Structure 1
Amino acid sequence: MNETARAAIVTGVAGDVEIRSYDLPRPGPGEFVLEVELCGMCGTDAHIYRGRLDSVRFPALLGHEIVGRLTALGEGVRADHAGRPVEVGDRVGVFPALSCGRCYECTVRRRPGSCPDRRPSYGFASPADRPPYLTGGFATHLYASNAGTVFYRTGLEPAVAVLQEPLSVALHGLERSRVGIGSTVVVQGVGAIGLMAVVAARAAGAARVVAVGGPPARLELAAALGADEVVDIDRVPDPARRAHAVRDALGESRGADAVIGTAGSPAAFTEAIGLVADGGTLAELGNFTDRGTVPFNPFSDLLKRDITIAGVYGAGPDMQRRYHSALTLLRRGGLPFDQVVSHRVPLSGARRALEALGGDYRLDDREIVKLAIDPHA
């Protein structure tokens, strides 16, 4: 194990990203140190960078979609969360959320996100100028400083294994939307979580899946991952015309049984309500940070149409189960998962990547499908 580690630290809201060095800690009981091979960068990271998540204070070390190899194990760390033996050198995926696993919220209500002893998730712990350091994935190493950190050994390539966290979020959305055999589904937004929602909808038995979003590279991949039709928001910019295009793609003038909203804007949420068939469900995943409010009529938008609106916050209750299910789906293969990560960015390029993800979705003259930090590039 190297004696020092490097990390890309966001110094302030939309501010500089500095590469800082830290001494590698020696893990205590229940802890471990991981050499990060790849860490996904998602829209949440871009929102945090813009100061849209009040719980994260700066300077901050971001990155919560973490895959790497174990370099040091503390006392008692002998197996992953599925009970499979682990040793130094094994590749693992790390689930970012941390809860006690013993309290009423964890064991009875099965809502670890509401655990009173919940600690800041990896990639969300702050500030980064005080210990414990190395608590996010935009670094050469992760210090898993909390006993009970959920992780799974995997033989998948890093570019596929890094999809485990976004797929677990998509699975939460599919469960809340009640998608089943024969369902018609609209996936609104084709970032990493939207693409994974297409995969999850197919795995759940959906009969027809329509993906709505852009840019074209993401829509092409959505089709390769299982979408029957795609609707490009740039080619159909008017929401009313777009709604007609989506219904034509569904082959259903009434709308979809389920809409999975991953686009992450209030306007998109309003549009999604109009795409749900009467009696259907909108599962909203995308507005993970506060982007503002929308006009809403409880009678005409909700009750009269007998629809369900389900809020989906991250991987949600039973998050560990979904994380494991995501790994199972990725291991099954048969889909071009290895094409989802379009850009591998070194630590020195973290700010440029965050700006692009919150801007025009282009980096190095190519459309972004999925960004990932490669700390050893």
Structure 2
Amino acid sequence: MDATARAAIVTDVAGPVDVRDYPLPRPGTGEFVLKVELCGMCGTDAHIYRGRLASVRFPALLGHEIVGTLAALGEGVTTDHAGRPVSVGDRVGVFPSLSCGRCYDCQVRRRPGNCPDRRPSYGFASPADRPPHLTGGFATHLYASNAGTVFYRTGLPPEVAVLQEPLSVALHGVERSAIRIGSTVVVQGAGAIGLMAVAAARTAGAARIVAVGAPGARLELAARLGADAVVGLGDGPEKRRQEIFDALGRDGADAVIGTAGSPEAFREALGLVADGGVLAELGNFTDRGAIPFNPYSDLLKRDITIAGVYGAGPDMQRRYHEALTILERGGRPYEQVVSHRLPLGRVREALEALGGGYALDGRDVVKLAIDPTA
């Protein structure tokens, strides 16, 4: 195993990103070290970079969509969480959230996010200048220092396996939106989560799916992943709303999955739900402000349901495993989702692109991923 590791450290809010060397620890009982092959960059990473998640302090090592090969196994690490044997060199996907798995919140309420013994998720632990250092995916190695780390062996290529975490979030959104066979669906936002929501809604049996967003490359891929129609951002919300209804063939969808990530987009999503339908909001993962809301006219009069979707949610480990089974089943061009593979030295550039113009190296950004071997 290598003696040292390199990691891209965000030094401060919207600040420089330094590539630093750290000693590579030997794993203890129940721990392992992963050699990172690919780590997806999420919109949440861009929000953290801009200081929008108060729980993350700087300097920070980001990256929570992690796939790699096992570099060293501590005592007792002999199988993945599906009970399949693992050994050094096996490719695995690592679920970022960490909980004890034994307490009342984990086992009875099935709310591992409320676990009193919960540790910061991989990619969210901070500050990075304190041990164990290698707690995020924008690095050559991940030190899985929690004996409860959930991981699954896979034979998928890294550019597909890296979608396991975002697909698990989309599956949570699809469940919360009550999509069933024959449902009409609008997916608002065509980033990685939105694209995975299109695929998940199709898997759940939706009859018609309309994807809304930008840029064009993302919408083209949304169609290949299962959207029946796509609508660009166009000339404003009123025109866009009519285009969406025309594409649906009716005024309003049974389910709207909001992944755009702004309060204004959430307000717009309210107007896309049919009376009696469900709005599942995934995108506002950080606090970006408030909007006017009328409980009578926006909610009760229309008999709609608004469901908050925070990450992979309850049963997160189940959804993570289900995401893997969907990806392994194939049948959709998942390998086309990652549009850019960038080295550690370009992490800041990638964060800026994800939070701004959505273009890099002369091409539209669909999904950014950090390749520490590049």
Q: Which of 294, 299, 307 is the matching residue for 1:302?
A: 299
Tell me the amino acid that sits aligned with residue 89 of structure 2: G
Tell me the amino acid that sits aligned with residue 192 of structure 2: A
CA distance in 2, matches of 1:274, 1:229: 19
CA apart distance, 1:238: 1.2
Report SS of the residue matched to 1:92: strand
Name 1:363's counterpart in structure 2: 360
Name 1:314's counterpart in structure 2: 311
CA distance in 2, matches of 1:316, 1:247: 30
Q: Which of 241, 249, 252 is the matching residue for 1:251?
A: 249
Report SS of the residue matched to 1:113: helix
CA distance in 1, matches of 2:231, 2:292: 25
Alignment pair present for 1:224 and 2:221: no
CA apart distance, 1:280: 0.1
Name 1:335's counterpart in structure 2: 332
Map 1:133-148; keep pairs closer than 5 Å.
Answer: 133-148=133-148
Map 1:13-52; keep pairs closer than 5 Å.
Answer: 13-52=13-52
Name 2:350's counterpart in structure 1: 353
Runs of 4+ that moved beyond 6 A: none
Map 1:1-377; keep pairs closer than 5 Å.
Answer: 1-233=1-233, 236-253=234-251, 255-377=252-374
Report SS of the residue matched to 1:84: coil
CA apart distance, 1:195: 0.1
CA distance in 2, matches of 1:11, 1:91: 30
5+ residue gaps, structure 1: none
Tell me the amino acid that sits aligned with residue 178 of structure 1: A
* 1:24-67, Cα deviation, whole Å (9 max, x unpaired): 00000000000000000010000000000000000000000000
Tell me the amino acid that sits aligned with residue 39 of structure 1: C
CA apart distance, 1:362: 0.6
What TM-score, normalized by structure 1, do the two folds share?
A: 0.99
Report SS of the residue matched to 1:222: helix
Q: How many residues align?
A: 374
CA apart distance, 1:151: 0.1
* 1:132-182, Cα deviation, whole Å (9 max, x unpaired): 110000000000001010000000000000000000000000000000000
CA apart distance, 1:237: 2.5
CA distance in 1, matches of 2:47, 2:236: 26
Please provide the CA RMSD for this pair.
Answer: 0.4
What TM-score, normalized by structure 2, do the two folds share?
A: 1.00
Tell me the amino acid that sits aligned with residue 147 of structure 1: A
Identity %: 80
Report SS of the residue matched to 2:220: helix
Report SS of the residue matched to 2:271: helix
Tell me the amino acid that sits aligned with residue 42 of structure 2: C
